[in-house]
Amino acid sequence: MHFTRKVTKDLTWVGADDRRLACFEGVYGVPNGVSYNSYLLQDEKTVLFDTVDKAVYQTFFENVKYALDGRKLDYLVIHHMEPDHAYTIEALLTRYPDVMIICNSKIQTMLGQFFDMDLTGRVQIVKEGDSFSSGKHSFTFVMAPMVHWPEVMMTYDVTDKLLFTADAFGTFGALNGRLFADEGDFFGEELDEARRYYTNIVGKYGPQVQAVLKKAAKLELNTVCPLHGPVWREHFGDFLEKYLLWSSYTPEEKSVCLAYASVYGHTENAANILAGRLVERGVRVRMFDTSVTPASYIVSDAFRCSHLVLASTTYNAGIFVTMENLIHDLVNHNLCNRKIALIENGSWAATSGKLMREALSGLKGTEFINDTISLKSALKENQLEALDALADAIAADIKNS
Ligand code: FEO
């Protein structure tokens, strides 16, 4: 049975939730599920904006059929070729043989890469600023390369002042019957998952996101329709502010993200004591055990906080594997402009501090606070002074910055 929601008088959400997916893109856990959004416009011509992942194709086709209400499908606008949105295109074209695809030339190339279909005469190529009319509604196209793949584009419905934003402004989490962000407590309950989605999926491409945000700033917006998560019709400016911070690698708050890798608890012990010293100095701290919390959550928190403390034991003459994975992700997601302090441990030849410093020093705007604190097996009484000094330095930096 279909389940659809009206976005506007003419536009219907025809997407679906997936709550059985273990890992989005095979790597990011989604305990609250994820939505794949697709939208159908009823005008003089009918227009579908994107399709969905294969996991929800059955619901999707029921929804499209219901929303078409007996009409044929005239156009499919493709904004992004990642298969979580594009997998179902071939099946859609089989079911609706008269549909004309509207996309850019990079998307056309990827259609040929992903599918063996003869699309001769079925593709209308658009470029930046091109326009299109479906009758009452007219559209312009905005290219958005690397948000999150090179072919990505957005479509602006000039008539309804509505922007289809592809992956941008998406959120992890199923919709659960809701469609609009203002139908729930987005900033109270979902912001963390929106940040985790942005930082892990698009975080590497901050400058490209900034370029698109500049273009979007020129548009009057009543409604914003992303490919994941809720649609925005109220308080979008508050969400946009977060995007401006995340994409410019500006911390949301002056606080510490403290992550540690500890095999037998001695490195954890030092991390706990430092956390206590920081809190006593009025500093807010969130702690993560890298062997317990998946890296995507810690990366997200590192984007939120101004300061990072990373503490790792030495393992196989290197950084402990879960910390090494976290640092790999921080570097690959291009986390810039952070103040970082390091603690290493090693019972005979500690190397993790030097290796962590080398890996992180390539990130633009990184500043290290104090020398690496080096533990030999367990923290000793005479090293408390170094932890106090580090807590003093971080607290002073937070107060003065
Ligand atoms: Fe939701 Fe980049 O695909």
Give the Cα separation of 76 and 92 in Å (integer). 9
- Which positions ≥6 away from 45 have C-beta within 8 Å? 74, 75, 134, 135
Cα dihedral 299/210/231/133 (nearest 10): -150
Task: Quote the percentage of the chain above a pLDDT of 90.
Answer: 99
- For residue 167, which atom of ligand 1 is closest to its CA? 1
Q: Residue 401 has what pLDDT?
A: 81
User: What are the phi and psi torsion angles at 193 (to 5°)?
Assistant: -75, -30
Cα of 312 from ligand 1 centre, angstroms: 33
Cα of 167 from ligand 1 centre, angstroms: 5
Would strands 28-29 and 23-24 be described as parallel, antiparallel, or unpaired? antiparallel
Distances in Å between the Cα of 118 and the Cα atoms of 33, 93, 122, 157, 343 are 35, 11, 9, 29, 58
- Contact assessment for residue 143 and residue 127, using Cβ atoms and an 8 Å cutoff: yes
Q: Residue 215 has what pLDDT?
A: 92
> Cβ–Cβ contacts within 10 Å for residue 23, how many?
11
Q: Dig out the tokens for 399 from the structure.
A: 């107060």
Cα of 25 from ligand 1 centre, angstroms: 9
Q: CA angle, corner 319, sides to 294 and 254, nearest 5?
A: 60
Cα of 119 from ligand 1 centre, angstroms: 23
Cα dihedral 277/196/152/224 (nearest 10): -110
Nearest to 333 by CA among 242, 210, 243, 203: 203
- Contact assessment for residue 299 and residue 330, using Cβ atoms and an 8 Å cutoff: yes
- Contact assessment for residue 46 and residue 40, using Cβ atoms and an 8 Å cutoff: yes
Q: Could you read off the pLDDT of 160-213 as tens digits, one per residue?
A: 999 999 999 999 999 999 999 999 999 999 999 999 999 999 999 999 999 999
- For residue 227, which atom of ligand 1 is closest to its CA? 1
Give the Cα separation of 364 and 315 in Å (integer). 27
Q: Whose CA is nearest to atom 3 of ligand 1?
A: 82
Cα of 302 from ligand 1 centre, angstroms: 22
Q: Could you read off the pLDDT of 340-384 as tens digits, one per residue?
A: 999 999 999 999 999 999 999 999 999 999 999 999 999 999 999
HEC sequence for 303-332: HHEEEEEEEEEEECCEECHHHHHHHHHHHH
- For residue 36, which atom of ligand 1 is closest to its CA? 1
Q: Whose CA is nearest to atom 1 of ligand 1?
A: 167
Q: Which residues of the chain have pLDDT under 50?
A: none
Cα of 360 from ligand 1 centre, angstroms: 28
Cα of 191 from ligand 1 centre, angstroms: 18
Q: Residue 66 has what pLDDT?
A: 98
User: Helix (H, G, I), strand (E, B), or coil: what is residue 43?
Assistant: coil
Quick one: DSSP state of residue 66?
H
Q: Residue 148 has what pLDDT?
A: 87
Give the Cα separation of 65 and 29 in Å (integer). 32
CATH of 253-396, one of 3.30.300.130, 3.40.50.360, 2.40.50.100, 3.40.50.150: 3.40.50.360
* Pocket residues: Cβ below 6 A from ligand 1: 80, 82, 84-85, 148, 167, 227-228
Domain ranges (residues) in the chain: 5-247, 253-396
CATH of 5-247, one of 3.60.15.10, 3.30.200.20, 3.20.20.70, 3.10.129.10: 3.60.15.10
